[in-house]
Amino acid sequence: MGNFAPDGLTYYLGQAFEGIGGFMHIVDLSDPSNPKQLPPWQFLGDGRPHGVWLNEAGTRLYAGQAGQFGSVGNTAFGTGPDGLVILDVSDYQLRLLDPQVRIISTLFWDDQGTAEEMYPFSKNGRRYVVSSDESGGNGGVGGAPAACARGASPHGYPNIIDITDERNPKIVAQLKLEVSDNANCEKLLNDPPENGGGSIPAYNEERCVADRANNPTMLACAFQYAGVRVFDIRDVYRPKEIAYYKPPALRTAFLPGSGIWTPDRDRTMDRLAGYPRFVKVPANEEHGRELHLWIVSNDNGFQVLRFTDDFMEREKSLKKSLFEDSVE
């Protein structure tokens, strides 16, 4: 897990060990043919990132800190609270001697489990990040029954967080599926196990991507066994789900390269956790201009999706359709 600073000159590697005492490694790529490691940074408190995203200037790192209820939430690791930590990494961007990482602010929540990506975008002059959570409350100690007892969300979901005032980040919207709703937790305790295994299916949101970085209209989010979900965020305070796709189950197909295949398993669903991508497709003889989604799932591999005709016709009736508004 890691990411480039937007200028492409620095690469940050997120922590594999996400507890206190773990290291973030930083690489100078000013000369791409001769990468050099900069002094690593050891986290003795908050700010430990797994997924890594930065602001346009490369001076702020938005860290998703995996928390105490998540799959890495063993108190022996000292993982601490779950949520967003905004870090000042200016020293690394400016290549200062003895670089330091400083905490600008934190925003934690206790109803999920393993925060990961903090995807940034801007809209109407304000700056936001979209959180992720790859385990939800079910991933904590005691599993699903304990999550329900403490009022946690059983499955991880995205928060849209306003970070315009970086010292005072605020959650402005939550993108919950019905399976993510805390009120439905007990209804899911007897959910049939996924793919013939012994565990409740994981419908956690792992990664979201906007249709563009500035003034986006849509988010596409990978919800693991719940497939890819597309949200209308023209009103960022009132997002709504407008489309979804679940890759087909491939059951007993021989796929040893799949992350969920085993020789004796009947796979009743496929898992989607990677980044979706919006792709604008020019008009051709068969189709007019279209907006596609590219996804990758464990069993079905790389897939190209397009919105249904009904979806496109409905949006054309708007003064400015989602598709037209996503083309700069």
**Over residues 166-187, mean pLDDT:** 95
- Give the model confidence (pLDDT) of 264-313 as tens digits: 999 999 999 999 999 988 877 776 778 899 999 999 999 999 987 666 66
Structure confidence at residue 199 as a pLDDT band (50, 70, 90): confident
What tokens were used for 107? 């925003």
Question: pLDDT tens, 161-173?
Answer: 999 999 999 999 9
Q: What is the mean pLDDT of residues 100-110?
A: 96
The answer to whether residue 251 scores a pLDDT higher than 80 is yes
Q: Average of pLDDT values for 115-137?
A: 95
pLDDT confidence of residue 44: 92
* Euclidean distance between CA atoms 319 and 126, whole angstroms: 24
For residue 28, give the amino acid letter: D
State which of 10-19, 77-86, 180-189 shows the largest mean pLDDT.
Answer: 180-189
Count of Cβ atoms closer than 10 Å to residue 76 Cβ: 6
The residue-averaged pLDDT of 210-217 equals 96
- What's the whole-model pTM score? 0.91
Of 37, 34, 30, 22, nearest in space to 78 by CA: 22
DSSP β-bridge partners for residue 123 = 126
* Burial letters 48-64, b for 16+ CB under 10 A, else e: bbbbbbbbeebbbbbbb
Q: What is the mean pLDDT of residues 153-180?
A: 96
Q: What Å distances lie between residue 19 and 24, 40, 63, 71, CA to CA?
A: 11, 16, 13, 12
Which whole number is the average pLDDT over 163-189? Answer: 95
Mean pLDDT of 23-34: 96
Q: What is the pLDDT of residue 235?
A: 96
Task: Give the C-alpha distances (Å, rounded to integers) separating 160 from 86, 176, 285.
Answer: 15, 11, 39
- Residue 99 is predicted with a pLDDT of 98
Cβ partners under 8 Å of residue 107, min gap 6: 83, 84, 161, 169, 170, 171
Average pLDDT, the chain: 89
Report d(CA 103, CA 86) in Å as an integer: 6
- In terms of average pLDDT, the best of 11-20, 67-76, 188-197, 249-258 is 249-258
Query: In the predicted model, is pLDDT for residue 23 greater than 90?
Result: yes
pLDDT at residue 70, rounded to an integer = 53
The pLDDT, as a whole number, for residue 310 is 63
Domain boundaries, the chain: 2-205
Q: Is the pLDDT of residue 107 over 90?
A: yes
Q: Is the pLDDT of residue 71 over 80?
A: no
Q: Amino acid identity, residue 270?
A: D
**Residues in a beta bridge with 129:** 120, 161
Give Cα 221 distance to the centre of its chain.
7
For 148, phi then psi, to 5°, come to: -65, -40
Query: Alpha carbon 79 to chain centroid distance?
Result: 19
Judge whether residue 328 has pLDDT over 70: no
What per-residue confidence (pLDDT) applies to 73? 46
